[in-house]
Structure 1
Amino acid sequence: MQIPGYRIIRKINQGGMSTVYLAIQLSVGREVALKVMSPALNADPVFSERFQREANIVGQLSHPNIVSIYDIGRFKNLNYIAMDYLAGGSAHDKMSQGLSANEALRITEEIANALDHAHEKGYIHRDIKPENILFREDDTAVLSDFGVAKTVSTASRMTNAGTVVGTPHYMSPEQARGKPIDGRSDLYSLGVVFYEMLTGSVPYQAEEAIAIAIKHLTAPIPKLPGQYSLFQPLLNKLLAKEPDDRFQRGREVVESIQTLQGTRNNTNPRYLTETDPNTIQILSLLKALILTSFAAISSQVQAFGHWVFSWRWTPRRGIYRHPKVTVTEIRTSADTAEDNRATIVSTRIQKAAHYQTLPSRRLGTAMRGLSLAVILSLIWVALSMAISRFDVPFKASIPEAVVKASDVTNDLVNSVLQSSQPPEPETSVADTPALADDAAEAIEVTAGDETVLEEVIVPTTPSMTPPVTPPPPRRELSVNASPIDAKVRILNIREPYYPGIPLLPGRYHIEVTSNGYDTYREWIELDKDDTELTVSLRKIPVPGATFYNELAGGRKGPSMVIVPAGRFTMGDAGNSTASPTHQVRLKNPFAVSQYEITFADFEHFAKATKRPLPDSNRWGKGSRPVINVSWQDAKDYVAWLRKTTDRKYRLPTEAEWEYFARAGTKGNFWWQGSSAKKANCRRGCESDFSNFFRSKTAPVGTFPSNPFKIFDTSGNVAEWVEDCYQDHYLGAPKDGSAVEQNNCSMRSVRGGSMRSSDTDTANFIRDKRNPDIGYSDVGFRVVVDLY
């Protein structure tokens, strides 16, 4: 499909009415979402009018949380709209991945802002739902799809009585009736979306649309789960059946959310998940304790300072404490100036305090010191419980000794709390419930010389035999953790963990930690049987550390170096094949081979798979980079490494390659200044292996490594990477993943070779090669995923 002024990259989404493409607006080089109406609908004036109306409405709305329109037009039989390209997906996509309560509040606040602006301009959206809430790359929520929007006057003056427009699960009661609506209907729909973001389901469900509408009209407002009870008043006002009982405009929703968040500015979003429903109350108490303690300490410090500086000495009295004086000025309103003078009234503290005895002074000082120590101890206990029980944001920066001390304090508090609990009452025979309504009791009756046992029926009453419900059986939980010194905690209960701890059936949040290892967390379900969980913590990768994996027969695999996670600007604005430049974020650290794969490395693979060793062009084998290998040969090699070592070997992606080639530097090369003696290339490098008359490979490691301890990222041999080659970076992944497409005819190579000039070995330089052919100037290196 061709539309003048646009270069279409790929399809993003498709619906019954239109298809959305990612395209480049050539006049300004901007990525846009090109919405093209289905040609089959052109004959229907209703659809054409709706398509045109969407563009006209959005064109009049200018707001950061409303999608922007750049162009509208028609080419041949295609109606199209060019609008913001929103790469962050929809709210529906985010809900499938899981949203925190903080994220749900933020999205609701941003869409309420957008609705307030639209309503102020006189437009009602009429179709608020998760699919119509999209996100920019910075995660800003954006309201889209105004295809069924109406002006307030039009929506209030229905042309067809009873016409219902919208999505049943998100319709307001008045919208479901087909009655006139205003902006408060959109706020009701936003409340439904808010409920769905918190709980994962819509509030009212049924098989038929009419049954859903009836529930919107008559069913009570649903209750949120306990951990979200704080938000119930907000939901109640959003989902009120009568419009007059709801928020009257979006700005009121925003103000309510901001007020709600005012008490939670310093909390972690995780505290609002189901990990610990009582955490909000705990943190509120902690905050109150700290504020109260601060006030008490300030008061004590002021009193202590006054006490220190109140002592006096005179020859007549000797050492004494000067009393605290409160001075009150009283002015009269007499007729004369004489009577209008100020009267000073001094009120001294009791006379006994003027001349305190030495024991009294010592006692007062001791009491002040004791109270200060108690207050500081309470603050330490509160902080220790917060550090040990929760993932507070500043925990990573706390010294290890403080963290250990807080764990000891927390364990001590837990033991004190457990010892203070009253013991469970023992069940006696008298507590056993009767087996029938009346109990039979045998008593002795003496008649003459004979003793006769008679059975007397004793009626029982509830007060005599109270029913006792046996507690549910407990299940033992054991966590076998390595390393041996790993600490195990159960985050959502108070009791400290110990092997074989008996727990009631339910869900438990397990945390295993150890210094130098990644933290492990998992929710487990205790049901009918005892549970034994085995956890092996993974060492935290140390950037710059090197290692190798053993191959069969005790041989060593390639030497690997760990590269840290990070972000960088990929590409170069002055190079057509390396533009546009874009930010790439590599979320996890990974390991890359320090050197290009050598003939010695490749020979292990060739012998194991019974394939001939590639030709070396008589330049030498051993420690020289392997050449004359195709992209598929390189893929076969990493597959063999994966199978042999059981580690996640693969080829690097283009983004990863450029990231570790740059090694945190900003220029075109990792070094500063001249290329001389820094790389093996034909011109500009002053290499002993390549010059204007001849070129050959150098043994790996001949030239210096970059700051990441990686050798030969410039020159020597170009390197195969995973990506399918494209002559631009339009739509390139921002997470460092590889570019793939069906029937890929060319693969990317990076880094230049011994036949390149120094300028052609820059970090951003890229080339393409046939993946089925081996080249004498192309080799490769490998990557291992650590996560």
Structure 2
Amino acid sequence: MAIPGYRILRKIRQGGMSTVYLAIQQSVDREVAIKVMSPSLSSDPSFGSRFYREAKIVGQLSHHNIVSIYDVGNHKHYNYIAMDYLPGAPLQDRLDEGVSTEEAIKVVREMASALHYAHEAGYIHRDIKPDNILFRQDGSAVLCDFGIAKALKGNVKMTNFGAVLGTPNYMSPEQAQGKELDGRADIYSLGVVFYEMLTGQVPFNGDDPVAVAVKHMTSPIPKLPSDKKAFQPIIEKMMDKKANARYQTGQEVMTALDELEQSIQSRGADHLTQTGSTTMQVVGIASALVGTLITTISLSIKRLMLTNIKFSNTPVQLSRKQMEDLDTFILDNGDGDLPEELGDMPLIQDTIEQPAIRPRTHWIYWVVAVVSLGLIAFIYLDEQHPDTLREAYIKANHQQITPSSSIEDTIENTDDSLEKTIEAAPTATTVTEEPEVLAAKPKEIINYALTIKTTPSDATIRLLNIKPAYKAGIKLPPGAYHIQVSAEDYFPKKIWLRINNKNISRQVKLKPTRRLLTAGTVINDKLSDGSEGPNMVVLPRLNQAIAISQQEVTFQQYDLFASQTQRSLPKDYDWGRDQRPVVGINYNDAQAYAQWLSEQTGQHYRLPTKEEWQRAAAGGKDTTYWWGDKAQSKMANCKRGCKSQYSKLFSTQTAPVASYAANPYGVYDTAGNVAEWLNGCVEWQDAEGSLCKSALVAGGSHQDTIKLLVSTSTKTTAAGQGSKTVGLRLLLEL
């Protein structure tokens, strides 16, 4: 495959809709990825429109984490887009090997930044998935494939085929239902990718796309493994079934990740993987101990109070169920009726003087043991987890503790019947100090100066990802800034600069285009197969920067074109081929060669106009010939007056190119040898101007006398016929 201006190196990957190649953009000698739409889809206008819509959308976005578009076009029924070459494997390949938690956070943060920028610019992606996340050489993630992206505003309507677009495993509920979408659908899909990076699998799977879509709409979000529980709230908010309940922007996702990261840092490095499980274990243990402590103390004290009542010394045998019923009655403070089977027991009044039955006391040891365990647990929690104790207990008991209240206050409020008893009893433990809760102070944002110094000094500087216009020393808050530096006749340059905590000054040197090359410089463009094109010499600049062929186009150069385009080879009249100037070609052949060379090199080649050719031929001289006003022998190849070894009075032929001296501009053979086609038709054969009847040639030939070799010499020739006296020379627009 050959695409004008690019040298294809190899195929990178192939999909159902397109193939991506690694190529060299020859005009700037940089590696690019060329995405070529499958020829089988070219006949479907909907696919073509999506292909070009991707280029149009991405062309309006400039962000470090979004792929950049350099060129879009069509060549021989191939639609192509030239874009950033991203050497890193897609995220999908990394998932097969496993993604670390730190890398997952980094990818989500960078993708959230990219989505925030795209959404602010008015576009939603609609196909966020690991296959569409690639990586730069520096490891930063890049969002690709905006093929089904859509403008948030406008009257663009999708076809029935496009009513539900996306990948089922990553599709938001509203996307699966074909509803109107906004940026929150991308947030949902990114949440699915986040879940997959943390667990190695998508949250919802099924036998067919419909089953997966239904799960996205109805099934609860699966819980993360215990070592990833810290991320559960973020995942659930990103993947909420209701768009209004999700993070509304990519910036909110980044903020949530930042807050989680700060929390992790403040609690220690191990908190990232242990916070969820450890906190829940602490809460469970504390809740169980507190509940057991309250129950045991209540039961024990009320049993103790009952020992002051005297019972008959008649043995009373109680079953296990009766004992449980009695305990329940006691704990309920005597509310309700005593069970009938217990109501018939012979209670003795206080006034009856009979020795009381001494109760068993072994349960006291259990009370002491439980109280001791409670003390140990609370002491440990207070020392090791002072910042989580309050929150844990609140969650366990579903009630709020004010800063002035203590654990005992809460216990007393939960059981009014024990209030007086606990007050009378020795205090088991008291939390006397609460962790100090400090109100978060807003961070003071400090701006830093950004200064860009450029070569050339009059270059234009633009800040692409923020609205303020650049000026030297502009004050900006910390962050990443996308900067474009451009100047006339220089290649523009885009760079990313990060401002941290100091002023930034950067020197940017632009690479000059070929328009700034000095006169006399020789340019030799490479063809797509690596072979060399004609040597072009830069002319002194007037209005437009141009270069012209140093020599006339040779048979060797033209034959390559003819063989690649299935044209018949022109006759050489037995004079030889290789380095002799090509002859026998008509005006259309000359134009076709210039067009082919343009496609091969990515540059703009054409035939010179009359004025351009005459300026090049004169070599900067205002004389009859480029060497002076008088005819001079052995300066050119002509029939008479030149004393050429190749052409005599009765026998003439072409000479190999550059057989005679070059003019002051370094251009050979503008006088004699072969006349050369000029750009522009003199007379059209039809009224529509589609077929040229006659055109101009300039410079004289081997069959002319020296008097016809003057720098201004031109004549009209039939455009549709080749001649042994006419060849061509090309002009290159710089």
TM over 0.5, yes or no? no
> Rg larger in 1 or in 2?
2
TM-score bracket, normalised by the shorter chain, equals 0.3 to 0.5
TM value normalised by structure 2:
0.37
- Higher relative contact order, structure no. (Cα contacts within 8 Å, ≥ 6 residues apart): 2
TM value normalised by structure 1:
0.35
